[in-house]
Amino acid sequence: MQIITTKKGLQATVAACKQINKTIGLVPTMGALHDGHASLVKRCVAENDVCFVSVFVNPTQFNNKEDLAKYPRNLEKDAQFLCDLGADFVFAPTPEEMYSEEEMNTTFSFDFAGLDQVMEGKMRPGHFNGVVQVVSRLFYLVQPNRAYFGEKDFQQLAIIHHMVERSSLKDTFDNLRIIGCPIVREASGLALSSRNERLSEDEKKTAINISRILKESLTWPRTSVKEVEQRVVDEINQVPGLEVEYYSIVDGTTLQETDTFDNAVGCVTVYCGPVRLIDNIKY
């Protein structure tokens, strides 16, 4: 496995793969890799001739600089993890290599068709501008046939689908398939996340209640969407150490509010102590 740190080196490697008609798969990550990432990489390796994985903590998608500073980083550990999984190339640039100074200090502009006005977009202004900025750049550089994303970040996945299939960029990425992969959970039910590294053992036991309550909500009487939403919030908030930021049951395609459980997805963000965790469930 080869680690590439420059855009020029990446493009040369991609060109060599394209020249011999290799299919290319890409798994964009911010490092701190876990078994959730492993599921994406394994599928990428199985479905493509060449597997590229990016390891880049993207500063433009953090609206909280303290959160950016605390994000776990260990490239040596991540590289060994990816090598064991059969990845062929790791792209691990610095922010200065990825962006010009002007790009770092200018908000990336994109028409989200309203997908960024709810949930994570509402709570983290500018977050998805940074996501689209880095992902579109990776797509330009790697020119993948397939790109793999986890369904835990449900809103992000919907926005990436929009970018590739319905936005003004769709002609640029007309040969690219976006592959959404199921949430990977610990045996306890806790959704795997790089942020879990910041949880103490006691906090992990507390955080288990998020997925437990979401799963239980599937069995509750569906009197109305709003009543189920409120009950989920109330039950999570009753657990000492947990505080819901939002719980929204939305249309699984448009991400807008819905009054039906058809094609509905419940998306939650919960603080467990100081750590912000997300999860979702399909109704």
Residues taking part in catalysis: 37
Q: Residue 166 half-sphere exposure, CB side, CA atoms within 13 Å?
A: 12
Nearest 5 degrees, angle CA 249-CA 255-CA 259?
A: 45
In 106-175, at which residue ranges do the beta strands (DSSP E only) sit? 146-150
Beta bridge partners of 266: 249, 281
Helix (H) or strand (E) holding 280: strand 275-282
Phi, psi of 54 (to 5 degrees): -95, 140
Helix (H) or strand (E) holding 266: strand 264-272
Give how far Cα 145 sits from Cα of 41, 76, 140, 204, Å. 14, 27, 12, 37
* 131 Cβ contact partners less than 8 Å away, ≥ 6 residues apart: 58, 61, 156, 159, 160
